[in-house]
Amino acid sequence: MNMRSPLSKARGLGSAKSGTGHWWLQRVSAVLLIPLSYWLVTLMRLCHTRPTNRRLSG
């Protein structure tokens, strides 16, 4: 059975100062993932629809 108060439990979790930087980094990376995903899908479509029936010399 845990006899610790909620305040003593929270004190061991550390400071909340670094949370803001982590939050911004997560949001910026999520926003940058949108055009990167679009670029990847477009590239895959282009590679898939490119004609591959080239004549081999020989």
pTM (2 d.p.):
0.51
pLDDT in the model for residue 4: 77
Instruction: Say how far apart CA 35 and CA 42 lie, in whole Å.
Output: 10
Q: Each residue's pLDDT tens digit in the chain (58 positions)?
A: 677 777 777 776 666 667 788 889 999 999 999 999 999 999 999 888 766 666 666 5
Q: Which of 58, 42, 26 is nearest to 50 (CA)?
A: 42
Per-residue tokens: 13? 């979790």
What is the token pair recorded at 44? Answer: 């895959």
